[in-house]
Amino acid sequence: MMKRIVASLFFISFCVCLSFSQVPGLFRIGTGGLQGVYYPIGKLIAQGLTARFLGPDKPAGIPETLFVAQTSGGSISNVQSLLSKETEAGLVQADVAYWAYTRQGPFEGLAEPAPVRAIASLYPEKMQIVVRKDARIETFDQLKGKTISLDEAGSGTLAVLRILLEAHRLSEKDLKPVYLKPEFTVDRLMRNELQGFCMMAGVPALAIERLTSVDYSIVPIDPTVAERIQGQHPYLFPGVIPAGVYQGIGQTPTIEVYALLVVHQDLPDEMAYALTESLWSKQVLSLLETGHAQGASITLDTALDGLSIPLHPGAYRFYAERGMVSKQEP
């Protein structure tokens, strides 16, 4: 009997302790497919931020928070999940964020400009159209009639591909399009079920690095076409995939866009400030630098490059304190 009473008392005090201990808040970051760059970069950011928000350097006055990177369809899906509050942040192409903010393209039906706000610009993404060498596709126009994966409907890749097709007076129907995330294209390309696949992503992308048993090339985008596109879509700009990013592939002209870290405008200012400050902490930056080749190009110096939507006021305050934007928020 006595034993039972002691056990019950022990159980009750355990429950009381539990109910008083704080469960960390959850902060979800929407990324992309498993073998792109958003997901590994998002994971490193989540890992670094969690270490800060749960550790001895926890920002003052901010609840303990656990950050997680979630796979997703890509930029368009990430904006949609931010709007429906299924995530707290997302990696989003600058052009897609701009469409959401100005109600264009897939966001035409919104009643109000999407309440998306930037924390930072991270790194430039590059259109990478990977094709089997034996498919003999040397120019964009030669994609005509070929079986090419254009990524999923929620991806920023498909959105940019549609712009590229239009700029070449082609449409999806001129190809034999397939809509798969890159991780599902690698084996199909090696088995010759696909002749190519596309990714608007940082470099190197794991899906391309995995193409070990097939000769492939990357289709160049003519710089004059890229410039023409920039005239209509200011956040897309001409660029190059540097030589040697992928074994045996020389420098290739392409089209680029910045990847932004985006949150909902409802995120409390103190949280957005703490998030920005922590993102640019030595701890998170060194994780990014050592964790992924693209991570080294994520720097405070380039944090405002290619921003297409307003900064979140909390992020703005961080940059204003460092003289990177004017003291007075526009």
Interface ranges with ligand GLU (CB under 6 A): 32-33, 36-38, 74-75, 93, 125, 155-157, 200-202
Backbone angles phi, psi at 128, to 5 degrees: -120, 105
- Alpha helices (H) in the chain, listed in sequence order: 2-20, 38-54, 75-83, 94-102, 156-167, 186-190, 206-209, 223-232, 269-279, 282-291, 313-321
Minimum distance from CB of 237 to ligand GLU (Å)? 15
Is the Cα dihedral 156, 157, 160, 165 positive or negative?
negative
CB of 7 to ligand GLU, least distance (A): 52
Minimum distance from CB of 84 to ligand GLU (Å)?
A: 18
- Identity of the residue, 90 or 314, whose beta carbon is nearer to ligand GLU in the bound complex: 90
Q: Which is nearer to ligand GLU, 32 or 295 (CB)?
A: 32
Q: How far is the CB of 207 from ligand GLU (least distance, A)?
A: 9
| Residue indicated by tokens 């990014």 | 288
Torsion angle of the four alpha carbons 282, 283, 285, 291, in this order, in degrees rounded to the nearest 10: 150
Radius of gyration in angstroms for the set of CA atoms belonging to the chain, rounded to a whole number: 22
Nearest to 115 by CA among 77, 79, 155, 73: 79
Q: Which is nearer to ligand GLU, 30 or 238 (CB)?
A: 30
Of 30 and 314, the one with the shorter C-beta distance to ligand GLU is: 30
Lookup result for tokens 């809509």: 179
* C-beta of 121 vs 155, nearer to ligand GLU: 155
Nearest distance from C-beta of residue 79 to ligand GLU, angstroms: 10
Question: In the complex, what is the shortest distance from the CB of residue 90 to ligand GLU, in angstroms, rounded to a whole number?
Answer: 9
Residue bearing tokens 């609840």: 63
Q: Which is nearer to ligand GLU, 40 or 314 (CB)?
A: 40
Q: How far is the CB of 129 from ligand GLU (least distance, A)?
A: 14
On the question of a cis peptide bond just before residue 113, with omega within 30 degrees of 0, the verdict is no
CA atoms of 77 and 238, how far apart (whole Å): 25
> Is the CA virtual torsion 157, 159, 164, 165 positive or negative?
positive
Closest to ligand GLU by CB, 36 or 314:
36
